[in-house]
Amino acid sequence: MTYLEALRRAVSGTQLRFRRNLREVTVITIVGLLVIPWLTNNDFLLNTFIFIFLFSMLGHGWNILGGYTGQISLGHAIMFAAGAYTTAILYVYYGVTPIVGIWVGGLVAVFAGVMLGVATFHLRYHYFAMATLAAALVIRVVFFRWDWVGGATGIEYPFDQFATLYSLTFRGKMPYYYLTGAFALGVTILVTILDRSKLGTYLKAINMDEENAKNTGLDTYRYKMYAMGLSSFVTGLAGGLYAQYTMYIDPWSTLRLLQNIDIIMVAIIGGVGTVLGPVVGSMLFIPVREYTRTALGGEYTGIDWVLFGLVLLFISLYRPGGLLNRYSGRWGKE
Amino acid sequence: MLVETHLLFLPSTQLVVQSIVSAVLFGMIFALVAAGLALIWGVADIVNFAHGEYMMIAMYLTLIASNDLGIDPLLMIPVNATLLFIAGYLTYVLVISKVMDAPMLAQIFTTFAILLILRYGMLYIMGPHSVSVDNFVFSGHTTMYGISLSHPRMATAVVSVIALVAFLLFLKYSRTGKAIRATAQDWDAARVMGIDTDRVLAITWGLGIAAVGVAGTMVATFSPIQPELTPATWTIKAFAAVALGGFGSILGAAAGGVVIAFVEHVGGALLNPSFKELYVFLAFILALIFKPEGLLNRGGAK
């Protein structure tokens, strides 16, 4: 079977057929991704791939809470910023190597996520979505005015320790490519395990009918919190990697309102509540986003967002479960 | 760190009175915007994330009519109300009606998609610069006891109150208004009683959007318009007002609008004015967390 055919079947097929071809598709994709930097050193291409990897992580992160558990968060930029800022602050202010900082960033993101969960998990459906959005707006305003985290100017990495292992910064894009790629692969494996685990089943049960899940004795609050923790950790790691890659973070780039939407676009284009959805979603969305950004003249013409709006509208109307999902399950509708 | 020494600084009485006056004037317009959002939310059970975008369209229409065609914004009120009613009606018929039974995720992202298309379509057409309406029949301001009263803002408040009262009376006494309220109470029962719920929902969307159309026309007379900031600010304030007032309660949302105006203006004057949007967001999130059923409501909101 050719690769393309396998991929096509994997994308359009039922879960069963999907699983049969999964191994070939996965192996060929991974091998292909491993050799790409050796075939080309086109910066635009590698940059696009680095963002594909980062956004598959973010998509996975959102998907654990939004897709599997059915809690539609519009505030994942908070956890992203938590990871990015922690990594940057630990390194720039205290000289802690980002090799450690990224993981600490993940843990700080978990803390932020759990706090958000404590505050908002008693809300359902759009109330939860709105509360997380409001939280993201509050954090955004705070970060813009908070001098210790650099305020509106943000935090810049010092250049004197550039390209050392300790600072985890590199010349050229290839090391970043493998670094983010390895993290993205790791997270994908984590989600695969989650998908087949008991916890994954509980989360899907909460998504299907929270009231019913509660009545059958499931401690839904606790499991929602686990989902939030995992989701935040993954999102925070991606934030830390983003800080390492750009070496400069500010509230504009990490806490934009559209940052929340970028993450969700990736998660829902591919397929909500599926393992490979975020991966496929970022492979489809990020190249278009990077291309339109450069080709159509930057963010201020807005025409790229009109295009994404139309895509989002199409998906919402005709494939509400995303492209990977054949059936459109229920995400929280009474 | 956050709230600096401003807490120690006592604002003058004049500043406080001035901020209360602003809050009252702004409160009326917030009330109208929030009422439109609450109507759609309460009847159709859909959150319209693109609320501020429709308002922005009315603002740009006013701008073009005033600056290019020389039509006074006051004359644009009925025009914009009609045009935005049609826009809302069509939005329901063409898009929203298709996701009424869809999962909530699809509903949220449908209105988000409308937000992106309208906001960035407008950015593409009108450019990213901030623009304002040049001529308005009630321009200038009066100073009374040291308190400055801006004429456009007073006119806006008056128009908002009239529109809001008309809106409430229509819902209370007209046949269509009764049908809307019946649909909000129980969809299936309304259908059984012979109400064409689909048409009622389309009219609901039309009315909710027409309300922001009137609001946008008036706000354009004193506030600059920018395609990214303007709609975002107004949508969030409307959300905050609806969250405070209770979802689905139109009177509650209008009251919430007044409260939000006070939080923003009086809070801004008493504490640190550069944080006034933060106070609004905080009020929003606190209202959602502690009182999701609203300030006036006693029923459950879930």
Q: How does pLDDT run across B16-60, given as a tens digit for each residue?
A: 788 888 888 888 998 999 888 888 888 888 888 889 899 999 999
**pLDDT at residue A124 greater than cutoff 90:** no
**Angstrom distance (rounded) from CA B286 to CA B302:** 17
Chain A contact for B275 (CB, 8 A cutoff): yes
pLDDT digit string, tens, across residues A47-99: 889 999 999 999 999 999 988 888 888 889 999 999 999 999 998 888 888 88
Nearest to B43 by CA among B198, B163, B164: B198
Q: Which string of b and e fits B157-175 if b means at least 16 CB within 10 Å?
A: bebbeebbeebeeebeeee
Say whether A316 and B113 touch across the interface (CB within 8 A). Answer: yes
Q: For residue B292, name the pLDDT band (cuts at 50, 70, 90).
A: low
Total residues belonging to chain B: 302
**pLDDT in the model for residue A6:** 54
Give domain status of residue B25, yes or no: yes
Domain CATH code at residue B25:
1.10.3470
**pLDDT in the model for residue A334:** 34
pLDDT digit string, tens, across residues A201-249: 888 888 887 888 888 888 888 899 999 999 999 999 999 999 989 888 8
Burial class (CB in 10 A: 0-12, 13-18, 19+), A196: exposed
**Distance from the first to the final alpha carbon of chain A:** 43
**Angstrom distance (rounded) from CA A17 to CA A102:** 38
Domain range list for chain A: 1-39, 43-318
Number of folded domains that form chain B? 1
Segments forming the whole domain that contains residue B37:
5-289
Of the residues A72, A124, A137, the best mutation for testing chain B's interface (the one with the most B CB atoms within 10 Å of its CB) is A137
Q: Chain B contacts of A302, Cβ < 8 Å?
A: 119-124, 128, 227
Give domain status of residue B53, yes or no: yes
**pLDDT at residue B113 greater than cutoff 50:** yes
Say whether B112 and A257 touch across the interface (CB within 8 A). Answer: no
Please give the share of chain B, as a percent, with pLDDT higher than 90.
11
pLDDT digit string, tens, across residues A174-189: 888 999 999 999 999 9
Burial class (CB in 10 A: 0-12, 13-18, 19+), B101: exposed
Q: Chain B contacts of A319, Cβ < 8 Å?
A: none
CATH assignment, A43-318: 1.10.3470
> In the 8-state DSSP scheme, what is residue A124?
-
**pLDDT at residue A330 greater than cutoff 60:** no
Say whether A301 and B232 touch across the interface (CB within 8 A). Answer: no
Q: Which of A131-145, B204-218, B288-302 has the lowest mean pLDDT?
A: B288-302
**Two tokens at A124?**
């359902």
Chain A contact for B243 (CB, 8 A cutoff): yes
**Two tokens at B76?**
């644009």
Give domain status of residue B298, yes or no: no
Q: For residue B11, name the pLDDT band (cuts at 50, 70, 90).
A: low
Average pLDDT over residues B10-15: 72
Cβ atoms A102, A232 nearer than 8 A: no
Among chain B residues, CA nearest to A117: B289
**pLDDT at residue B143 greater than cutoff 80:** no
pTM for the full predicted model:
0.84
One-letter identity of residue A93: Y
Average pLDDT over residues B8-19: 72
Q: Chain A contacts of B278, Cβ < 8 Å?
A: 138, 141-142
Cβ atoms A321, A271 nearer than 8 A: yes
Among chain A residues, CA nearest to B41: A126
Cβ atoms A303, B110 nearer than 8 A: no
Q: Is B12 helix (H, G, I), strand (E, B) or coil?
A: coil
Q: Chain B contacts of A300, Cβ < 8 Å?
A: 123, 128
Q: Evaluate the CA torsion angle A68, A264, A284, A183 in order and state its sign.
A: negative
Size of interface A-B (CB pairs under 8 A): 145
Q: Can you give the three-state secondary structure of A187-252, one letter per residue?
A: HHHHHHHHHHCHHHHHHHHHHHCHHHHHHCCCCHHHHHHHHHHHHHHHHHHHHHHHHHHHCEECHH
Q: Evaluate the CA torsion angle A142, A148, A152, A154 in order and state its sign.
A: negative
Among chain A residues, CA nearest to B45: A126
**pLDDT in the model for residue A102:** 92
Q: Chain A contacts of B112, Cβ < 8 Å?
A: 261, 312
**pLDDT in the model for residue B10:** 60
**pLDDT in the model for residue A328:** 44
Long-range contact pairs involving B141-149 (C-beta distance under 8 Å, separation at least 24):
B146/B14, B147/B14, B147/B17, B147/B18, B147/B21, B148/B18, B149/B21
Long-range contact pairs involving A279-282 (C-beta distance under 8 Å, separation at least 24):
A279/A56, A279/A59, A279/A60, A279/A184, A279/A188, A280/A11, A280/A323, A280/A324, A281/A56, A281/A59, A281/A322, A281/A323, A282/A51, A282/A52, A282/A53, A282/A55, A282/A56, A282/A59
**pLDDT in the model for residue A87:** 92
Strands B147-150 and A155-156: unpaired
CA dihedral B10, B11, B17, B23 (to 10 degrees): -100
> How many angstroms separate the CA of residue B91 from the nearest CA in chain A?
12
Q: Chain A contacts of B104, Cβ < 8 Å?
A: 72, 125-126, 331-333
**Angstrom distance (rounded) from CA A244 to CA A101:** 10
**pLDDT at residue A276 greater than cutoff 80:** yes
**pLDDT in the model for residue A290:** 81
> How many angstroms separate the CA of residue B41 from the nearest CA in chain A?
10
Give domain status of residue B44, yes or no: yes
| B contact residues 113-142, partner A, Cβ 8 Å cutoff | 113-117, 119-124, 128
